[in-house]
Chain A
């Protein structure tokens, strides 16, 4: 009986979902978000598009993060149309701003946002 209870406890513990941070990313006042961001404890961040976004020719969408303590956002790379998985460089921090800007093909060469920030959202623990 004791063994069974312990086994059940382990099973329940193991079946628990690891804590995640999520963000809905979109345009202010838009009826619905355009991307969903999900961050895992290992620091991986998945960005999934919720709508078909077509980027003008010669341009790319670039993903940026800004931790609550950061002065400026830094790049997480170019977003692909099908979505992207990138590394946050550490466990997700609640309150981190995720931004997506419209940049020249290949991304902002300066390492800073050069184009218009089109979409934004903030990570929250779930």
Chain B
């Protein structure tokens, strides 16, 4: 451990007590996310409970030039939480308070360690819910930091559209509040959006003001299968271009559905390209939307809708979708998975997905595909073969899929973020000048470069 980190840990004990630790098991736990990047141990792990504690600890790290890595639930898929230069991993997962709930304004204020499932449990008896659903039970602070979205984004937007304001502890220990409770404001730079997706490189998000939504009167889910991926993708495009307001629309290719059938014990599904739908609204409206979607699907060769109106059946279906990553890994026990995250404009979705399928076939690798195709985003879980060139082959396939998506006017990451793995694509996607402005912002807010070094930017 560096002398500077040792000093920070000793001084922070005065206000954190044993909530700052050098325990090996905890350092190991904070050395990686759920990705394939090599783990690196932090020098220490601190569990903060308040904005003030986070700010005091940051001020200490700033004074001693000690790197800081914010940590939530550790579900990052792009290496965000790996302390590549050591330092202190500041864990906000114990900041679990719902600070304020305003049902009449449909908003709430929470601490950053509150998870999606915890919040929705809390809100249930108010008839409200928080819709952003990346699948894992990540912290909402982490969702803000990585600009997460998920299966509901097609109807309710991503985290970006559902955050009204933030409290952020800056690297030098200052605390700022951004945004507010109003649905719009025309005053000054939008600092809220600056910190959404900043990946812990500008400060630590400690509190979040969230928009909430009414729990829909009726929800129904359906599954339909296709002989070809083309039919499934064209169904997605047609449904969106006709303005049918689906709440979720998820694509699973034949490899993924076979994995999910085995892993999640799904019944009556063949190993064929499959779409999962969910419709929200009134009883009559949901039935109408579903009929419309079914008509479009049948037009594109679907074998018909299987309905899941029973809540338990519906929950099983979506649990299977959310467990898709683990189902994919179970195809090759002991292998790791590299998740791709390309997103393209809806009109280019067929080119991107069918092209990616060709890339996968040419690579000789196994890579099940899932996607929140309702917003043009799709993932492949590239299963990394053991052996010296396994990871290299997987990365080569990932780069091919990303390059195609970017060339189609898309982005290398729809919702996982840049982290370590996508840094090299930023220049192609944003251009040198935009990247230079991002670096200027970083330098202005974090002049000593202590915040999550080695992420987002190369060098």
Q: Is A8 in the interface zone, CB < 8 Å from B?
A: no
Q: A34-B243, A54-B242 are in contact. Are A28 and B285 (CB under 8 A)?
A: yes
Docked-complex contact B244 and A27, CB < 8 angstroms = yes
Interface residues in A40-55 by Cβ distance below 8 A to B read 51-55
Q: A56-B234, A56-B299 are in contact. Are A27 and B241 (CB under 8 A)?
A: no
SS class of chain B's interface: helix, strand, loop or mixed?
Answer: helix
Docked-complex contact B245 and A118, CB < 8 angstroms = no
Q: Is B284 in the interface zone, CB < 8 Å from A?
A: yes
Docked-complex contact B242 and A53, CB < 8 angstroms = yes
Shortest B334–chain A CB gap in Å is: 44
Residues on A with beta carbons closer than 8 Å to the beta carbon of B243: 26-27, 30, 34, 51, 53, 118-119
Interface residues in A110-126 by Cβ distance below 8 A to B read 115-119
Docked-complex contact B289 and A102, CB < 8 angstroms = no
Shortest A122–chain B CB gap in Å is: 14
Residues on B with beta carbons closer than 8 Å to the beta carbon of A102: 242, 295-296
Residues on A with beta carbons closer than 8 Å to the beta carbon of B289: 27-29
Residues on B with beta carbons closer than 8 Å to the beta carbon of A28: 281-282, 284-285, 288-289
Docked-complex contact A56 and B238, CB < 8 angstroms = yes
Interface residues in B233-259 by Cβ distance below 8 A to A read 234, 238, 241-245
Shortest A120–chain B CB gap in Å is: 9
Residues on A with beta carbons closer than 8 Å to the beta carbon of B282: 28-29
Against A, the Cβ 8 Å flags (1 = close, 0 = not) of B379-421 are: 0000000000000000000000000000000000000000000
Residues on A with beta carbons closer than 8 Å to the beta carbon of B241: 52-56
Q: Is A90 in the interface zone, CB < 8 Å from B?
A: no
Shortest B385–chain A CB gap in Å is: 40
Chain B minimum-CB-distance residue to A50: B243
Q: Is A89 in the interface zone, CB < 8 Å from B?
A: no
Docked-complex contact A118 and B244, CB < 8 angstroms = yes
Shortest B306–chain A CB gap in Å is: 19
Shortest A118–chain B CB gap in Å is: 5
Q: Choose from B280, B284, B286, B295 the contact partner of A116 (Cβ within 8 Å).
A: B295
Q: Is B177 in the interface zone, CB < 8 Å from A?
A: no
Docked-complex contact A118 and B242, CB < 8 angstroms = yes
Shortest A56–chain B CB gap in Å is: 5
Q: Is A31 in the interface zone, CB < 8 Å from B?
A: yes
Docked-complex contact B296 and A56, CB < 8 angstroms = yes
Chain A minimum-CB-distance residue to B234: A56
Q: Choose from B242, B244, B281 the contact partner of A55 (Cβ within 8 Å).
A: B242
Shortest B359–chain A CB gap in Å is: 26
Chain A minimum-CB-distance residue to B346: A54
Q: Choose from A29, A52, A54, A56 the contact partner of B280 (Cβ within 8 Å).
A: A29
Bound CA span A117–B289, Å: 10
Bound CA span A52–B243, Å: 9
Bound CA span A60–B210, Å: 42
Q: A56-B234, A56-B296, A102-B295 are in contact. Are A29 and B242 (CB under 8 A)?
A: no
Shortest B158–chain A CB gap in Å is: 16
Residues on A with beta carbons closer than 8 Å to the beta carbon of B428: none
Chain B minimum-CB-distance residue to A29: B281
Residues on A with beta carbons closer than 8 Å to the beta carbon of B284: 28
Against B, the Cβ 8 Å flags (1 = close, 0 = not) of A8-43 are: 000000000000000000111111001000000000
Bound CA span A28–B290, Å: 11
Residues on B with beta carbons closer than 8 Å to the beta carbon of A53: 241-243
Q: Is B292 in the interface zone, CB < 8 Å from A?
A: yes
Shortest A40–chain B CB gap in Å is: 26
Shortest A35–chain B CB gap in Å is: 10
Chain A minimum-CB-distance residue to B235: A56
Q: Which of B238, B242, B285, B347: most chain A CB closer than 10 A?
A: B242
Residues on A with beta carbons closer than 8 Å to the beta carbon of B299: 56, 59
Interface residues in B219-237 by Cβ distance below 8 A to A read 234
Interface residues in A47-75 by Cβ distance below 8 A to B read 51-56, 59
Residues on A with beta carbons closer than 8 Å to the beta carbon of B238: 54, 56
Against A, the Cβ 8 Å flags (1 = close, 0 = not) of B273-315 are: 0000000111011101101100110010000000000000000
Q: Choose from A27, A54, A56, A116 the contact partner of B245 (Cβ within 8 Å).
A: A27
Shortest B389–chain A CB gap in Å is: 43
Docked-complex contact B245 and A30, CB < 8 angstroms = yes
Shortest B412–chain A CB gap in Å is: 26
Residues on B with beta carbons closer than 8 Å to the beta carbon of A56: 234, 238, 241-242, 296, 299
Residues on A with beta carbons closer than 8 Å to the beta carbon of B242: 53-56, 102, 118
Residues on B with beta carbons closer than 8 Å to the beta carbon of A54: 238, 241-242, 347
Given contacts A28-B282, A29-B281, A116-B295, 10 further A-B contacts (CB under 8 A): A30-B245, A31-B245, A53-B242, A53-B243, A56-B238, A56-B241, A56-B296, A56-B299, A118-B243, A118-B244
The 3 closest A-B pairs by CB, nearest first: A29-B281, A28-B285, A116-B295
Q: Can you list 24 pairs linking A and B with CB atoms under 8 Å apart?
A: A26-B243, A27-B285, A27-B288, A27-B289, A28-B282, A28-B288, A29-B245, A29-B282, A29-B285, A29-B289, A30-B243, A31-B245, A34-B243, A52-B241, A54-B242, A54-B347, A55-B241, A55-B242, A56-B241, A56-B299, A116-B291, A117-B292, A118-B242, A118-B292
